[in-house]
Structure 1
Amino acid sequence: MSDPGGFTREQRPLGRNRDFNVFWLGQALSVLGGSISLLALPLLVLEATGSVVQLGLITVVSGVTAIVTGLFAGYVVDRVDRRRLMIVCDLTRAVLLGAVPIVWWAGGPRIWLLYVLTALATVLKMLFDVAYVTAVPNLVRTEDLTAANGRLMGTFAIGTLLGPVAAGFITAAVGPDWALGVDGATFLVSAASLGWVRFRRPADRGADPAGPRAGVLREVFVVGFRFLWTHVLLRPLTVLLTLLTFVTMGAVDLLIFHVRSDLHRDAATVGYVIAVSGVGVVAAALGAGRLRRILGFGPCWLASVALTGVAVAGIGVSRSVPVIAVLAAVFMFGMTLGGVSSMTLRQEVTPDHLLGRVTSAFWTVHNASGPVGAAVLTVLAARHGVAVAGLAGGVFCLLIVGVGLLTPLRAARGGAAGTGGAVPRATRKPNVRCDPEGRLGS
């Protein structure tokens, strides 16, 4: 089918791609709602219990559930209709969040409900997020992947900035329980928008070569990790990003501690710094496509790590709030540019029937180091000061760049190793073979 401009669905440029633009706008509102919950849920816990311990336990439930769900989310996403899965996740979350203000109104606070809500919502979010990543290549042309991911990342940044503000107004007006209800309504809009979107069925989307004989545990835990390890670009990228996450997950904690405790500024100042950092996210999201076309994937990703390292070191040693705000924007620019680039690479090189499992494996591996790194970085700051911790983090990032220059990443131009560019998904042959049992190998 072609549009009035003579383009088929598969050929439409991003600006005229109705399916992607409906998807994008629907998710924009959903992201805003999710950002409301980020503030509303902790406020509701504190309002109901007055206990920081309960707040911490809610966070623990969310974190543990996310890790466990991440192990099997990719398997589920690769085995079912992804659009229907996303719609079911949205509708279920709408019901769960919409029930909170009703229960609060009818019977008063129920802290057990928040634990159940947190666990179920985290499972649904992980399933949705993995499907979300796999959906983008089924909506846009390969050459538009970076720009599409940039738009989605930019929308996420804006929603993250506006969501807490909206949550504050809603909470002040009608309470945090109704703020969660508003978030539930945004999931209804997201589900409706997905109902209007058609996902293209790529050439490599068919029966899973693993077949029904493959054990479920093997499929859940092995296939995605194996693909990462045997791909010439994804292997070094996964290792280096795991090291980078070790440093960067605690960087925001360092920034907040530095501004509040070392510089003795109030919470409003911290909010101003965080708001300015969002400019870096938007700038990277808008410029990621052009930068990747000019520099190629490898130089673009390594440059993003270098920028991140310089920003971490600068934030640690600076005593000026405006300078710290600018460096925070540089930090977020580097993190966003690297995130868009790595997401696009996975989408380009991974066969569609494996993309869910590879995404889950990728997230599980590189996120596992984050909590440990955050603990190490904050302990280092407590014992030796933020300046020492910041400099150590910055040097560590630059060492990652140095190691990256010794890997195939240094010359990688696009998604297909050795070709100098990305290969269109419709014609690309997966770089895999089937072993005698029908399971995937490299």
Structure 2
Amino acid sequence: MAYRARRVAPAVPRRAEDGRPLWRQRDFGFFWLAQTLSVLGDSFSLIALPLLVLQATGSVARMGLLTGAGGVAMVLAAVFAGVVVDRVDRRKLLIACDLVRMVLYGLVPVVWLAGPQLWLLYVVLPLCEAVGMLFAVGYVTVVRGLVGTGRLTEANGRLNATAAAAGVLGPLGAGLVAAWTGPADAVAVDAASYAVSAGCLLLVRVRERAGDEHPAKDTGLWRDLRTGIAYLVHRPVLRSLTGLLAVFSFLSLGINDLIIYHLKRDLGHDDGTVGTVLAVGAVGTVAGALLVARLRRRLGFGPTWIGSIALCGVAFAGLGWVRPVPAVAVLGAVYLGCAGMAGTCSMSLRQEITPEHLLGRVTSAHWTLQYSLAPIGAAVLTWAAEQYGTGPVAAVAGACCALVGAAGLCTPIRRAGRT
């Protein structure tokens, strides 16, 4: 690889952890805003792209195929994302990722003016998912440099809470825009949000990385990936988390397509209702993000993570059977809230115990392994739903997700500490 280790610019001297409230810290504040806007855009495309496919084909299997294609690109990008993140200016990388996604998503409404072009979605979404993986790995590595190790769970919880608030407004707005002017216009809003996010990141000053005294060397892609995997394998808690999350992701990546199909085809509701239900469901993510730090302090990492995954499964199992729209929204809220808590716990633990100069590669290796089979799972889940109905498929997938949480009781996750 031709990448060389560099110091992050603009850099400010490393200093003791800032004791001020996070909302009063300038750099974290701009970073917080940028991440929230980025998620706002993501939540628009989360609704708009499946609606475009459903509008053109009427098939949940084709929706799942698009989700799977994006998942494959995400996994492939995860292979080398950590290598890139550990070697380049992380702030500039985040800005570049936002600008690339702005351009790619901006193509969709322009091309759609000439009529539906389904092939474009199968080009744009995988590319955006790959770039999004680079952004996600870079984002994880930057947070510790902004707030310090001791406040990671709090910072991640707050980032996830406001991101979830954007996730409430995004589906609601996307559903309304799609109902009024069409899903393609909702994708245009997504593109605009990335432009504003990039502008916010330009104002963030990132401290020098603690790992700069251990610069990444040009050791090669596969050796760097093996370095990240080896770190995960030799730490029992991280090893168990990665394995169980791989199964969970296989089972659940296609859940969004399943909910949309259930509302549109099984229950006969319009795009506005889809957006409203997913927006109400995202309120659960806000609640989970605000509660996760307190629950982890009180219960410990293990019980919080295991309980969250198990409750995800219970909610998932009921989603395909319930018919009242408020019930679908409530179960969606439970699922999203618990998934957010489990994800925040997992990410915070990796950030806390991984050396700075390895954080990108370990995060990349974790996500590569976690999502390696998820695209296949999304395709299988949506194909099965089209063949056998959303109710039975959701019940089986949800029960298996609950078993993933229960399996955590037999691993070192159960004994993880209370910090």
Give the counterpart of 2:343 among 339, 344, 351: 339
Counterpart position of 1:217:
222
TM-score, with structure 2 as normaliser: 0.81
CA apart distance, 1:138: 1.1
| Alpha-carbon distance in 1 for matches of 2:235, 2:99 | 37
Give the counterpart of 1:166 among 170, 173, 176: 173
Counterpart position of 1:429:
none
Aligned length: 401
| Alpha-carbon distance in 2 for matches of 1:104, 1:314 | 36
Give the counterpart of 1:401 among 372, 389, 405: 405
Amino acid at match of 2:234: T
* Bigger Rg over Cα: 1
CA apart distance, 1:35: 3.0
Give the counterpart of 2:206 among 174, 193, 199: 199
Larger helix fraction of residues: 2
Matched, 1:266 2:274: no
How big is each residue's C-alpha offset from its partner over 1:232-255, in whole Å with a ceiling of 9 and x where there is no partner? 210011111112223323444554
Amino acid at match of 2:73: T
| Alpha-carbon distance in 1 for matches of 2:413, 2:160 | 23
Counterpart position of 2:30:
22
User: RMSD in angstroms over aligned alpha carbons?
Assistant: 3.6
Counterpart position of 1:148:
155
For residues 215-254 of structure 1, what are the structure 2 equivalents within 5 Å?
215-219=220-224, 221-254=225-258
- The runs of 5 or more residues in structure 2 that have no matched partner are 1-14
Matched, 1:123 2:126: no
Counterpart position of 1:3:
none
How big is each residue's C-alpha offset from its partner over 1:276-310, in whole Å with a ceiling of 9 and x where there is no partner? 32121111011111111111111110110121122
Shift in CA distance, 18/104, structure 1 to aligned 2, threshold 3 Å: same
How big is each residue's C-alpha offset from its partner over 1:379-426, in whole Å with a ceiling of 9 and x where there is no partner? 666676655544433443343233211221112125xxxxxx4xxxxx
Point out the more displaced range, 394-403 or 384-393.
384-393
| Alpha-carbon distance in 2 for matches of 1:46, 1:217 | 39
Counterpart position of 1:427:
none
- The runs of 5 or more residues in structure 1 that have no matched partner are 1-6, 415-420, 422-442
Counterpart position of 1:72:
80
Matched, 1:189 2:161: no
| Alpha-carbon distance in 2 for matches of 1:307, 1:343 | 19
Report if aligned partners of 1:85, 1:128 keep a CA contact under 8 Å in 2: yes
Shift in CA distance, 349/378, structure 1 to aligned 2, threshold 3 Å: same
3-state SS of 1:87 partner: helix
| Alpha-carbon distance in 2 for matches of 1:202, 1:67 | 26
Report if aligned partners of 1:246, 1:374 keep a CA contact under 8 Å in 2: yes
Shift in CA distance, 200/275, structure 1 to aligned 2, threshold 3 Å: same
| Alpha-carbon distance in 1 for matches of 2:401, 2:57 | 37
Shift in CA distance, 322/192, structure 1 to aligned 2, threshold 3 Å: closer
| Alpha-carbon distance in 2 for matches of 1:14, 1:113 | 41
Amino acid at match of 2:227: V
CA apart distance, 1:345: 1.0
Report if aligned partners of 1:13, 1:144 keep a CA contact under 8 Å in 2: no
3-state SS of 1:233 partner: helix
How big is each residue's C-alpha offset from its partner over 1:70-125, in whole Å with a ceiling of 9 and x where there is no partner? 211111011111011112222344445556677888xx679577665445434332
| Alpha-carbon distance in 2 for matches of 1:131, 1:125 | 10
TM-score, with structure 1 as normaliser: 0.77
Report if aligned partners of 2:75, 2:367 keep a CA contact under 8 Å in 1: no
CA apart distance, 1:271: 4.5
Choose between structure 1 and 2 for higher RCO, CA contacts under 8 A separated by at least 6 residues.
Answer: 2
Report if aligned partners of 1:304, 1:334 keep a CA contact under 8 Å in 2: yes
Counterpart position of 2:287:
283
Q: Identity over aligned residues, as a percent?
A: 49
Matched, 1:34 2:42: yes
Point out the more displaced range, 365-374 or 141-150.
365-374
Counterpart position of 1:354:
358
Matched, 1:330 2:341: no
3-state SS of 2:341 partner: helix
